[in-house]
Structure 1
Amino acid sequence: MKIGIQTWGSHGDIRPFVALAEGLQAAGHEVTLVITCVDSDRYDELRASTGFELRIVATPTVPDKQALERIGNTIVRERNAIRQTRLAIEHLLLPAETAMYEASERLCAENDLVIGHYFLYTLAAAAERQGRPCVSVVLAHGAVPSAFQPPSGVPDLGAFGNRLVWRFARSVLNSSLKRYPDRLRKRIGVAPARDMIDTVWASEDLTLLAITPAICERKPDWPDHYQVCGALETRASVAEGSVSPQLLSFLASGAPPVYMTFGSMLSGSDQRQTIELLAAAAEAASTRAIIQAPAWNRLGFECSSQIHFVDSAPHASIFPRCSAVVHHGGAGTSQAALLAGVPSVVVAHTAEQELWGRELQRIGVACKAITRRRATPTRIAAAISEVTQSQRIAENARSVGARLAEEDGVAVAVRCIADRFAI
C-alpha cells in the first residue's frame, strides 16, 4: 500500500512519525513522510538514512530566532490554555499553512491512505476533499472526551459532571479554534468541520493515541475508532547527534548526572537566561548535570567537572545513565524518561506540558510539576533532591520503565492500521 504521512511541530512531534514511517516501511508499504518543523532545519541529514521518501516543507516555520524567542515568551506568559493554542496556531502554523496544504494535497493524490498529526488540519481537509481515508495520530490525551476523565486541568466530577464539562469544553473549543480549519476548508470548497475534537483533531477512520498505556488507558466509552497504540519510539537517533567521547568521559567520571533539557521550548526563550537557570539549579542541588542547549558555546558557557553542556544527544542512549531528567514535559521527552526508568522533574511551559507533569506525578515517577513562570534555581534544586532521594519514586520509575520496555507502540500502530483498512 502507498501511505503518506505528514507532521508539524517540534522534534517531539516529528520523531514519532519517523518511527511510524520506519515501521510501515518494514511492513512492506511504500511510505512518504512530510515534515514541517517549527524551530529547526536539522532534518536534512535524515534523507540519506531513511528507507522512505522524506520531504521537508516550510522548515523552520519561524526562521528568525529573535522572533521565535518573542513568540515563545508570549505563549509561556499566557495562562489560558485556549489562548495558548490560538497563539501557537497563529504564529507557528499559519505562516506555513499554504505550503503544508499543498504538500497535503500532493500526499492525498499520490497515496492510498494518509496519516497525520492531530493538530495538522491541512491533511484532514485535503483527505476529505479527495475522498482519501485518513488516520489521526494524537500525542496528548487531554482532549479525548469521556465520562471517565474530565478535560485537562479540571477535577474529576464523576460521570455526569464530566459529561457536562466536556459539553462546555467542546463549545469553547469550537468557538475559539474551529475558525482556523474552517477558513481553509471554505477556501478549498469543503464543508465546515462538524466539531473541533471529533472531526478536526480526531478521524472517524482511525485515531491512534501514541501514548503508553501506563499513562493512558483506553476508556470504556470511547468510540471504536480511538485506539491506544503506545509510544511511537525508535532506538535510532533522529537528528539528535551521537554520544561524543567528551560526554562518555563525563558520564564515566562520577556519579550519574541529572539530564536537563527544555527541548524545543529553549528556542522560544531567552537562551542565556534559561541556561543560567538550569546551571544554577544543578549547583544548588549539588549534583552533576548534563545541560542540553545548542547555543551554550556561542553564549560563552564552558564545561566543568560538575556541568557538561551538549548541543543535543540521543536520549535513548543517555537517559538510562542519569539519576533523573529535568525537562519541559513534552510528550516525547516524558515518554523517553519513562522508558529509561528514571524519575522526572517537569518544568512545564504550556498547558499540555502541565498535563504530562500531572500524569507523571500521578503514576509516582515525578514530583509536582513546576510551571516555567515560577521556576527558580531553588525550586528546581528542591525538586531534583526530592526525586533523586526518594526510594519510592526510583522504584516506580524502574517498574514503569521495565513495563514500557516490553511495549512496541509502532508494531501495535501498524497492526491497527492493517486491521482497520484490511491491508
Structure 2
Amino acid sequence: MRIGLQTWGSHGDVRPFLALAEGLQRAGHDVTLVITCVDSDAYGRLDSPSGLTIRVVASPVLGPEAAEAVGATVFETNDPMRQMAKIMRVAFAPVEDQMFAAAQRLCAECDAVIGHFFVSPLRVAAEAAGVPYVAVMLSHGGVPSAWSHPVPVPRMGKTGNRLLWWLTRLAINRALKPDINTLRARAGLPPVHDVVDEMWLSPLLTLVAVSPVIAEHQPDWPAAVQVSGFLDMPNIAVEGALPAGLDAFLAAGEAPIYMTLGSWMPADVDWQARTLQLLTEAARLAECRAIIQSADARGCGFASTNEVLYVQAAPHHAIFPRCFAVLHHGGAGTTQSATLAGKPSVVVPHISEQQHWGSELRRLGIAGKPVHRRKATPEKLAGLIRQARATPAMTVAAVAAATMMRREDGVATAVGMIERVLDGVKRQGTAG
C-alpha cells in the first residue's frame, strides 16, 4: 500500500514516526513521512535506511525569540490551557496552512494516512478526501476514561475522573475547536462538537504508542484504541554520538546521573546558564557525579571536571544504561528510554503531559514526586537524586519494568495492527 505519515513537534514527536515509517517500509509498503519540526532543521538531511520518502515542511517553526517566549510562558505558569494556547499561537498556527497543503498532497498520493493526533490538518484532509486515517497518540493520558484522569491529582474514583474529564474536554474545546472548525469549513466539512472524540481519536484505529508496562488499557476505551507499545528505533544521526571523553569520565569514578531537559533546555545563553547552574548545584548537593546535556555549556561559562561532564548530545540507548539514574523533563520518549534502560528517574516537567509521565513513573515506583521546572531548586532536585540513589526498590522496579519492555516490539505490533485494519477497509471497499 501507499501509506503517508505526518507529524509535528519536537524530536520526541518525530522519532516515533520515523520508527513507524521505517517499520512500514520494511514491511513492503511505499511510505512517505512528512515532518514539521518545531525546533530543528536536521531532519531534512536525514537518510532513510529502508528507502522511505521524507519531506520536511516549515522547519524549524520557531526562531530563538519565539522559542524563548514559549519557554517563558511555561516557566511562569502551570496552567496547561495557557501553555497550550501559547504553543498553538507561535508554533502551530503560523505553519498550519503549509501543513494542510502537505496533508492534502499526502491524501492525493496515498491509500491511507497516519497522523500525530494533534495534527488536525491531516485529519481534516483525510476526511475531505475520503482516505482511511489512523491516529497515533504518544501518551495514554489523552484518552478519556472513568478509570483514569488527565491531571496529576490523587485518584478520585470513577465519578471524580468523569468530572475531571468533563472539565478537561471543556477547556480543550474552548482552546482548539474554533481554529479546527475554521479549517474544516475551508475543506467543506461540518464542524465538530468535541475535539477529543472527533479529531484526536480515529474510529478506525488509534494507536497508543506507549509500552503496556506503563499504559494500562482501560476497560471503557473505545474498541479502536489499542496500545501498540513504544515506537523505538536505533540511534539516528540527529541524536549525536557518544562524546569522546565519556569512557574516561565513567572510569574515573562512580556511575553518574544523566541530566537532560531535551528540547526544553533554553537556547538563550543567560537562561541556559541559569539552568546549568541549577543542575550542576543539584548534583553537588546530592554528592554525585553527573553528565549534563546542554547545547552550549562552554558558551555559558561551564567546563567539564572530574565530577561533571557537559555534553551537547548523546544517544539515550547508549548512555542511560551506564548511569545510576536519569533526570529528565518527562517527555514520552525520554521517559520510556530511561525505563527501558532499567534506571530510576527524577522528573522535572514543564507542561501537563510531562507531569502525567512523572506521575506514572511514581505510580510504578521508579521515580519520586515530580518537581515542576518553575518550582525546581537545587535542594529539591538533590533530595530526589539522593532518594533515587538510596532507594534500592526504585532500581529493582526499574529493572523489572525494563525486562518486560525488552520483550516488546512496538513497531512490529503497530505495523501488524495497521495492516489488519487497512486490509479490512480494502476488503469492505472491494465487497461494496
User: What's the TM-score once normalised by structure 2's chain length?
Assistant: 0.94
Alignment of 1:2-401 (within 5 A): 2-47=2-47, 49=49, 51-62=51-62, 64-237=63-236, 239-267=238-266, 270-401=271-402
Q: Which runs of 5+ in 2 are unaligned?
A: 425-432
Quick check: 1:337–1:344 contact (8 Å CA) kept in 2?
yes
| Residue deviations 1:332-386 (CA, integer Å, cap 9, x gap) | 1000000000000001111111111111000000011111111111111111111
The aligned amino acid for 1:22 is: E
Find the aligned partners of 1:388 and 1:154 in 2 and give their Cα distance.
26
User: What's the TM-score once normalised by structure 1's chain length?
Assistant: 0.96
Find the aligned partners of 1:78 and 1:178 in 2 and give their Cα distance.
23
The 1:187–1:342 alpha-carbon spacing in structure 2 relative to 1, beyond 3 Å, is same
The aligned amino acid for 1:278 is: L
Find the aligned partners of 2:299 and 2:47 in 1 and give their Cα distance.
28
Quick check: 1:30–1:52 contact (8 Å CA) kept in 2?
yes
Find the aligned partners of 1:190 and 1:154 in 2 and give their Cα distance.
38
Alpha-carbon distance, 1:238 to partner: 5.0
Deviates more, 1:84-93 or 1:241-250: 241-250
Residue of structure 2 equivalent to 1:417 = 418
Find the aligned partners of 2:175 and 2:336 in 1 and give their Cα distance.
30
| Residue deviations 1:38-72 (CA, integer Å, cap 9, x gap) | 1112223313655211111111101x213311221
Deviates more, 1:86-95 or 1:144-153: 144-153
Aligned residues: 422
Quick check: 1:117–1:136 contact (8 Å CA) kept in 2?
yes
SS of the residue corresponding to residue 55 of structure 2 reads strand
Alpha-carbon distance, 1:26 to partner: 1.1
The 1:380–1:421 alpha-carbon spacing in structure 2 relative to 1, beyond 3 Å, is same
Find the aligned partners of 2:316 and 2:41 in 1 and give their Cα distance.
19
Quick check: 2:99–2:121 contact (8 Å CA) kept in 1?
yes
Find the aligned partners of 1:318 and 1:151 in 2 and give their Cα distance.
31
Find the aligned partners of 1:247 and 1:336 in 2 and give their Cα distance.
19
Find the aligned partners of 1:95 and 1:125 in 2 and give their Cα distance.
17
The 1:146–1:264 alpha-carbon spacing in structure 2 relative to 1, beyond 3 Å, is same
Quick check: 1:10–1:39 contact (8 Å CA) kept in 2?
yes
Quick check: 1:174–1:195 contact (8 Å CA) kept in 2?
yes
Deviates more, 1:284-293 or 1:330-339: 284-293
Find the aligned partners of 1:218 and 1:192 in 2 and give their Cα distance.
30
The aligned amino acid for 1:131 is: G
Find the aligned partners of 2:47 and 2:354 in 1 and give their Cα distance.
30
The aligned amino acid for 1:280 is: E
The aligned amino acid for 1:339 is: L
Find the aligned partners of 1:2 and 1:118 in 2 and give their Cα distance.
20
| Residue deviations 1:210-261 (CA, integer Å, cap 9, x gap) | 1111111111111111000111001233511111331232223221111000
Deviates more, 1:321-330 or 1:267-276: 267-276
Find the aligned partners of 2:267 and 2:122 in 1 and give their Cα distance.
26
Find the aligned partners of 2:110 and 2:296 in 1 and give their Cα distance.
40
SS of the residue corresponding to residue 245 of structure 1 reads coil
Quick check: 2:267–2:295 contact (8 Å CA) kept in 1?
no
The aligned amino acid for 2:344 is: P
What percentage of aligned pairs have identical amino acids? 47
Quick check: 2:44–2:55 contact (8 Å CA) kept in 1?
no
Find the aligned partners of 2:249 and 2:67 in 1 and give their Cα distance.
32
The 1:217–1:48 alpha-carbon spacing in structure 2 relative to 1, beyond 3 Å, is closer
Find the aligned partners of 2:217 and 2:254 in 1 and give their Cα distance.
39
Find the aligned partners of 1:12 and 1:329 in 2 and give their Cα distance.
11
Alpha-carbon distance, 1:156 to partner: 3.2
The aligned amino acid for 1:46 is: L
Alpha-carbon distance, 1:81 to partner: 1.4
Alpha-carbon distance, 1:163 to partner: 2.8
Quick check: 2:249–2:306 contact (8 Å CA) kept in 1?
yes
| Residue deviations 1:257-279 (CA, integer Å, cap 9, x gap) | 11000000113662111111111
Find the aligned partners of 2:50 and 2:23 in 1 and give their Cα distance.
11
The aligned amino acid for 2:300 is: L
Find the aligned partners of 2:6 and 2:231 in 1 and give their Cα distance.
15
Alpha-carbon distance, 1:188 to partner: 2.4
Deviates more, 1:336-345 or 1:233-242: 233-242
The aligned amino acid for 2:3 is: I
| Residue deviations 1:267-298 (CA, integer Å, cap 9, x gap) | 36621111111111112212111111112133
| Residue deviations 1:1-35 (CA, integer Å, cap 9, x gap) | 11111111011111111110111111111111111
| Residue deviations 1:130-182 (CA, integer Å, cap 9, x gap) | 11111111011222111211232344332344334323332332223211211
Find the aligned partners of 1:76 and 1:119 in 2 and give their Cα distance.
23
Find the aligned partners of 2:255 and 2:46 in 1 and give their Cα distance.
31
The aligned amino acid for 1:37 is: C
Q: Which runs of 5+ in 1 are unaligned?
A: none
Quick check: 2:273–2:301 contact (8 Å CA) kept in 1?
no
